[in-house]
Every structure is written in C-alpha cells, then in structure tokens.
Structure 1
Amino acid sequence: MGKSKRNSPKPGGNRAQRLAERRAALQEAETAVARPFEGLAAECDLVALREFVPSATAEPVLAPGVAAERPVVLATVLPGAVAALVRAGETPAGYVGVQVQAPTADPAADIAASILWAQSAEPGDSLAVAHAAPGGPALSDVIVADAALDLVVHQDFDWWVPEGVQPDPQIAATIEQAKEAIMPSDRLDLGPEAIGAPWWVDAGEKAHLRWVRPESEDDLMLALARLHASGGLHLGAGSRFAGSFRTHGLLVPVFDLDPERHVSEWSTPATEFGERLAEALAVDAPLTSEQRRSRDGLRSRQVTLR
C-alpha cells in the first residue's frame, strides 16, 4: 500500500500564512466603507471613474476653506497608478488618481488626502500611496458636495504629458501600449434631469452600457425585477440586459449593445428606459410570483466588484 498523503504538504504556501491572509482580507472587508461617495452629487460618476472608465479627467470644485494654491484635476489613472502628482510648468497643477495601486477601505478619504497633498507638494513631486489619517477630512469636506463633475473623456493617455513637452521614453512607451489596449468609451448625455451615470464602451465584438444608479441596491433590484417580468428591461432593438455589478454600495445595470451603432444612437432608448425605471421605482406593492422569479434570476447575474 502507498504512503498516506493526509499529512503531505499542500501547494500554495504555509497554511498559517494562508489563514493569516484570509483573516486580513476578512478584516479589510469588515472595515470597508460600504458607500464611500454617498452624499456627493458626483457619486455615480466617481464610482464609474474608479471602476471601469479607462481615461477621463475632471476638475472638481474645491470647498470653501481649502487652500487652493493650485488647480486640481481628478483623473482615472496616472502613470504608475500613483495617488497624485504635481505637474510642473508655468501654472503647476495637481493631478489626483482615482484608480490607484494601493486602495484602502475608504477611497473617498484617500482622494481627499491626495487633493490636500497636491496643494502643498512641490512641482514634479508624486505621491505613490495616499492613506488618509483616521478622522481626517472627508471628501465632502474638500470638494463642494452638490457640484457635479465637468468631465472630459479621452480616448488615449496623451494628457499624461503637457502639450509641447517631450515625454520620458518609459512614459512614452507606456502611453503607446495604453493606446493599443484602450477601449473607446463615452458618457451618454441624457440631459440635466437624467439620474445616475450611464457610460458606454465599445469592447469590440460587443458594446456595453453600464449605468451607475444612486438608488439603494434593494429598491433598484425590485424595480429591475418588475421591468424584467413585464418585458421592459432593455434599451430597444440591438440591446440585451446582461446583468449587474455591485460596487461601492451601488448597483450598476449592464446592457449588451449592437457595436455597429454610434454611442449617440443610444441616448433616446436610454432616456425611455430611464422613464420606465422611474415608474417601476415608484411602485410599492409587493412583488408578484412572476416578479419574484425575475428578481431571483437577476440576483444570480450579479457580480460584486468590491
């Protein structure tokens, strides 16, 4: 008979180390802020910029009392995924990354700390990691909470380098690699009354609409279930409901779209869907048996990002 393998070492490292890593991950999940951007008018766009928009910038309105030594620009990602940098030039500007290499349990507080760092740092400095001090300023203390973001969507990363400046060879190579991999993206403009942040992306064989919504996850799921049961969970011809993301305390319905149609062609169907969704959200009656089946099916197609 062969030797028992019960006590043989298993691949993947020391068991105690694996248990420690698991405990650390659970502790981080328990301390994570459930909805870090809640209370900000730009909440939905900040979630989109953090999770799936490849290249965009926005200049936030700094709150009264913040020492505005220089303008600050929020960016999806900066070279090296650093937290912030101060670009040198005639008018130094602070750039703050939303997608960073080492996020913490409160990304909004980290962004606030990065904005404040950019006000006092020297031109040419960069901040690799921003960890807000416990009890430090919240993002709502640093930017005007009820001000929306004036977004600029880019289809490349040329904005990493000031116009007329010859980039460092390593940065230039990184920009060229990003240009080859970046997927065209844009934000649908549905007018000032539109709710949430609908973002379109051309992924090649398919295009997608990811609509970050501000409602509570439970309320939105019930409304989506009502629409699914009635056949209204779509954006018209050439679209299909694909599922939803759960991230930063919000639910993000995702639709597969016909990639042959231009982003602007989805504005009217998205507006019509938004109207149907508003009607479904206003219903407070219990779900029917068919709607409950729809809800259960939709829940099985959720993906939690963080």
Structure 2
Amino acid sequence: MGKASRRRRTTDDSGAPATRQRPAPVPYVNRPFEGLPRETEWVAIREILPAATAAVTFAPAHAPEGVERATIATVLPMAWPAVHRADGTVLVGTQSGSTSGDPSRDLAAQLLAGAAAEPGSAVQHVPAATGDTPRLQDLLDTSAPFEVVVHEGFDFWVDGQDLDEEGRASLDRANESVVPTRRMSALPSAYWVRIGERTYIRLVLPDDEDLATDALARLHAAGETGLGDGTRLLGAFRACGLLVPVFEVPADSDPDVHEDALGAFGTRYAAALASAAPLTAAERRARSGLLSRQVTLR
C-alpha cells in the first residue's frame, strides 16, 4: 500500500470533504429516574444513603447474555463503577460519579460494562455515555419491584467471602465511615440519620420540585413544617429533579418516636400540595427563604 493510500481520507466518494461522525450528545434530563418504579428510592440510593443495595431485573429484550439480574449499590470498593463477581453477580455503584447530563444513561452504561466484564473482575473505566446509549428505563424490567435495603456497613461488597487480615482491616475502615441510617415507615423514602452529634430525618418528595417548594412554603408560613417539639425544618436539597427536605430532630431521639409526627406532616404536605390558591405575601417570603437555603446535589 502506498503512502497516499495510508493517509487519512479527507474526501468522500463524490469528492466532497469527508465529515467525521460525532456521537450524539446526551440530552440533559432534569428527572433522570422518572418512569422507573419508586423514583424517590432511586434518588435516595444515589444521593443520600451511605450503604444500601437494591436488585434489578433486565428486560428480556435487553438482557446481556448470561445476565438476568444485577444489584444497584451506593458505592463499591475503590469507587469502581461496576463489579462482575466470580459467581456471576453484577454490582453497580450509583455514587461513582456522573459524566453526562443524564444519570440514568450513565448508570445504564455502567450496567452494560459490568455485565460484559469477565467474571471475577472490576470495571475501572466506563466509556462515556452518548445520546445513543440506552437508559435504565430501556434496559430494566420496570414492572419488577425496586426494594432498597439499608446496610449498617459495606459487608455486601464481599457477600460472606473469606477475607485475609489485610482485607478485613480495609473493610473495617470503610465501615467506620458509614453514618447510622434507618428507614422510616410513616412515609416512603424517609430516612433517619445520625451524623456526629446531630440527628436528622431526610425525606425524598415524589413531586415536581417547584410544586413541592410551594407546598413547603405554605406550611412554613403557617408554622407547620416541624415534626414536634425540638424539631425544625433546616431546608431542602434539590436532587435529580426532586426535593429532599431535611429536618433536625433531638440528637438522642430514636426513629420510632418521630413516626407519628412524620405521618402527620405528610398529611399536611399533601393538602398544601393540592392547594390551587396563589401564594400569599407571607408564603412568598417563606418560599424565598427556602430557595436561599437550597443546595443542588451534584
């Protein structure tokens, strides 16, 4: 082959300048987990839970060869995007970072990379998602339940495997970083967490974040955002298109003592959300105060 033949081609068959096909860009998605079962739990496992897992099932038409199910986790060792265990189990870490404007597409890319990896290996790099990468809504059986299990530590990394002394010491160090977290039962996707000497309840609301902010503003103006004596609404995170209010509760209180108050808050919130009345001046001031304290996760 001559040198001219080996040069990069700069024209097409008609003689016009050749153009390089660029991957389709990933469109930004404000609510990336909308359409999946229990959207609020997807947000919780990606944004606010320290150690948790949930099983997912591939849609039959999109199941990789030899892999029907996978485990969604908060984080994996070394912040790996995915692991394909020797026993065939595939785990994906939701908190390993997102490289596009659509976490659903990024996690789908991690799932596919984990399923394609050799059993007994970790995925340390995942090709960047493009507009042609499928989303979780495409890959998964959305009729299957999504049940998040909160763990006290990261023992699910090894799943009962025998560890040598160095491995056990490493796992123990990781477990020491996990803050105590428990699921509340009065409302979906509500979690009690103790961080240092302070205790909080975080609640992922299922509604559009602007409508949820209006509802919280109505309650805040009426003095109805607390969960009883010694509690207060600190503010809210914005996460994956949803709102996550954070309540501070007495540091030494257990989750059980707040269940009734949390349920009552849910009733008040639902009524405020259903209101079609324009916000009053006091409610608008309350809304501005809430917005000034909001933080967007990632």
**TM-score, structure 2 normalization:** 0.84
Q: Map of 1:89-108 to 2, 5 A cutoff?
A: 89=87, 92-101=88-97, 103-108=99-104
Shift, 1:197, TM fit: 1.6
Instruction: Identify the residue that residue 128 of structure 1 maps to in structure 2.
Output: 124
In the aligned structure 2, how far is the partner of 1:146 from the partner of 1:228?
37
CA displacement 1:221-267 (0-9 Å, x = unmatched): 11111101111111112311001111211111110111322122222
Unaligned 5+ runs, structure 1: 1-29
The 1:122–1:177 alpha-carbon spacing in structure 2 relative to 1, beyond 3 Å, is same
Identify which of 128, 136, 142 aligns with 2:139.
142
Residue 227 of structure 2 aligns to a residue whose secondary structure is coil
Does 2:245 align with 1:253? yes
Q: 1:38 to 1:84 in 2, by over 3 A?
A: same
| Equivalences for residues 90-239 of structure 1 within 5 A | 92-101=88-97, 103-130=99-126, 131-167=128-164, 169=166, 171-190=167-186, 194=187, 196-239=188-231
1:46 paired residue among 35, 42, 49: 42
> Is the Cα contact below 8 Å between 2:232 and 2:249 reproduced in 1?
yes
Structure 1 stretches of at least 4 aligned residues deviating more than 4 Å after TM superposition? none
Identical-pair percentage: 41
Question: Which has the larger displacement, 269-278 or 154-163?
Answer: 154-163
- Give the match for residue 76 of structure 1: 74
Pair 146,294 (structure 1): closer, same or farther in 2 beyond 3 Å: farther
Whether the 8 Å CA contact 1:96–1:115 is kept in 2: the answer is yes
Specify every segment of 5 or more residues in structure 2 that has no aligned partner in the other structure, as ranges.
Answer: 1-25
Amino acid at match of 2:125: V
| Count of matched residue positions in the alignment of Structure 1 and Structure 2 | 270
Matched residue of 1:65: which SS?
helix
Q: 1:269 Cα deviation (Å)?
A: 1.3
In 2 relative to 1, CA 168–77 (structure 1 residues): closer, same or farther, beyond 3 Å? farther
Displacement after TM superposition at 1:162 (Å): 2.9
Distance 1:214 1:96 in 2: 24
- Considering only aligned residues, what root-mean-square deviation do their CA atoms show, in Å? 2.0
Correspondence for 1:276: 268
What amino acid maps onto 2:223 in structure 1? Answer: G
Match of 1:26 in 2: none
Cα deviation 1:269-306 (Å, max 9, x = unaligned)? 11111110000001001111111111111111111223
Rg larger for: 2
Conserved? CA contact 2:54–2:73, under 8 Å: yes
Alpha-carbon distance in structure 2 between the residues aligned to 1:102 and 1:211: 23
Kindly provide the amino acid, as one letter, of the partner of residue 288 in structure 1.
T
Indicate conservation of the 8 Å contact 2:55/2:146, yes or no: yes
**Deviation by residue 1:115-170 (Cα, 9 ceiling, x = unmatched):** 2233332211221233324312111011133544212211111221131422583x
- 1:59 and 2:51 are equivalent in the alignment: no
Q: Distance in 2 between matches of 1:227 and 1:122?
A: 53
2:43 alignment partner AA: V
Q: Tell me, what secondary structure is at the counterpart of 1:80? A: helix
> Any idea what SS the aligned residue of 1:72 has?
strand
Could you tell me whether the CA contact under 8 Å between 1:185 and 1:202 is conserved in 2?
yes
